[in-house]
Structure 1
Amino acid sequence: MLTTIYMVRHAESPYTAGEERIRGLSPDGELKSRQVTELLQDEGIDMIVSSPYARAMLTVEGLAGKLNLPIETYEDLRERQFADDSYLIRDEQFMTQVQNMFSDPEYALPGGESSKVCQQRAVPVMFELLEQHRGKKIVIGTHGNVMTLMMNYFDPDYGWDFFIETKKPDIYKMEFQGTRLTQVTRLWKD
């Protein structure tokens, strides 16, 4: 039985230190979240789940309203903890540090999550959805790092090179037979 997961990376969100959970979407992000709704409204979606972070929920909120579906939040779908709040990463160092995390699954900044730890918390949500909602079409509102690490669990070709090519927002349709990934199709068009 085919189960379909639509990974929806959140739309553009202006960064504000200390506001990871509550920061919303930029005006461009709001506009593109409406395009997410347009792209997915006729897919036959059965269920919408999301990270509890506002930017992820706001990206799929219009779709939920259009389809009259609730958004179920899962704490374990939150974005990767890059470092402790007291550890400052300069903007020019950020992507290099993320690349280090993808290159070495055990690498983590002080107080942060390694790729391995982040993957170990997020992937069980995927298995829960695949096992409890077989044959359904499920949207997951998520973040770039978490999305890439979940996809990487099922196919190691999804790593750093994939991550840096993703957009905000982005949509990947993942088809599963049981818990085996059989196909991935990018639906977002720039």
Structure 2
Amino acid sequence: MASAPVQWLSPARVQGSALHITRILAIRHGETAWNRDTRIQGHTDIELNDHGRWQAAQLAEALRDEPIAAVYASDLLRAHETAHAVARTRGQAVTSHLGLRERCFGRFEGHTWTELEQRFPEESLAWRKRVPDFAPPGGESLLQLQARVVATVEELAARHPGEQILMVAHGGVLDILYRAATRLGLQAPRSWELTNTAINRLLWSPEGLSLVGWADTSHLHNPSTPALDERHA
């Protein structure tokens, strides 16, 4: 069943003139083999699997008629592949930005959630409790991720007042955007979806981010194009 957007803002609730507002389509990359294995990716560069490429193609079709002034993506392959699937149908280029990268997980990367609990129990607990200043050895804390993501979105959105842009990033980045738009703290339990290639809509103005719609996956449930499941391919 398709997920419906969780919140819609009326025009009266949007601060600032429309000429100063940037509409943002925020997308998590398509699925990878490591996603399916619940293996931490972070900055490790993993390509899309077959199902992820199918998701990206469905996303491209869903956004075909959307006005998009610019396409931005994390430079990591899984995000860039997803963004390129959209951009090539429109004759547009993808602009990479390091600020849209996933949180760096240091030595956590390459391990499954179960392996982390077994090998690094104390650090794994701090991670699962979302301790804001905890950083895995060699990685980033939530506070560092938040500062990076918010600064990047402000930078990119400010380039396009009155326009709509596409940003393809990662689960951790999308989580920060949702929290910023809804004014939720870093340790608040997550009740929202971060589905691969779901369409999430936000507004940016100099006053900050606002949530328009979240987790629209209707394009992934199109009966005319059955999903490719690589486990049975």
Of the three residues 146, 151, 175, the one matched with 2:203 is 175
User: In the alignment, which residue of structure 2 is the partner of 1:152?
Assistant: 179
Partners of 1:93 and 1:160 in 2: CA distance:
23
User: In the alignment, which residue of structure 1 is the partner of 2:80?
Assistant: 57
Residues 101, 19 of structure 1: alpha-carbon distance in 2 compared, 3 angstrom cutoff: closer
Give yes or no for the alignment of 1:10 onto 2:39: no
Structure 1 window deviating more from structure 2 (104-113 vs 147-156): it is: 147-156
Partners of 2:126 and 2:115 in 1: CA distance:
10
CA offset at residue 62 of structure 1?
1.6
Q: Deviations over 1:87-122 (max 9, x none)?
A: 874531559948836632111221111110011112
CA offset at residue 188 of structure 1?
2.4
Q: Deviations over 1:33-63 (max 9, x none)?
A: 1111011111111110000000001112121
Which amino acid letter does the alignment assign opposite residue 30 of structure 2? A
Partners of 1:105 and 1:92 in 2: CA distance:
22
Give yes or no for the alignment of 1:108 onto 2:135: yes
Give yes or no for the alignment of 1:46 onto 2:69: yes
**Larger-Rg structure:** 2
Partners of 1:55 and 1:128 in 2: CA distance:
23
Residues 94, 68 of structure 1: alpha-carbon distance in 2 compared, 3 angstrom cutoff: farther
CA offset at residue 126 of structure 1?
0.7
Structure 1 window deviating more from structure 2 (41-50 vs 154-163): it is: 154-163
- Following superposition of structure 1 onto structure 2, how do residues 24-35 of structure 1 map, counting pairs within 5 Å? 24-35=47-58
Q: Deviations over 1:128-183 (max 9, x none)?
A: 122221111110010001121133233234854146x3212222011234443333
Structure 1: stretches of 5+ with no match in the other structure: none
TM-score, scaled relative to structure 2: 0.70
User: In the alignment, which residue of structure 1 is the partner of 2:161?
Assistant: 134
Partners of 1:81 and 1:107 in 2: CA distance:
12
User: In the alignment, which residue of structure 1 is the partner of 2:5?
Assistant: none
Contact 1:11 1:33 in 2 (8 A): yes
TM-score, scaled relative to structure 1: 0.84
Partners of 2:78 and 2:147 in 1: CA distance:
23
Which runs of at least 4 in structure 1 moved beyond 6 Å after TM superposition? 16-19
Structure 2: stretches of 5+ with no match in the other structure: 1-17, 221-233
* Percent sequence identity over aligned pairs: 24
Equivalent residues, number: 188
Structure 1 window deviating more from structure 2 (33-42 vs 179-188): it is: 179-188
CA offset at residue 23 of structure 1?
1.8
Residues 178, 37 of structure 1: alpha-carbon distance in 2 compared, 3 angstrom cutoff: same
Residues 118, 102 of structure 1: alpha-carbon distance in 2 compared, 3 angstrom cutoff: farther
Q: SS at 1:30's partner residue?
A: helix
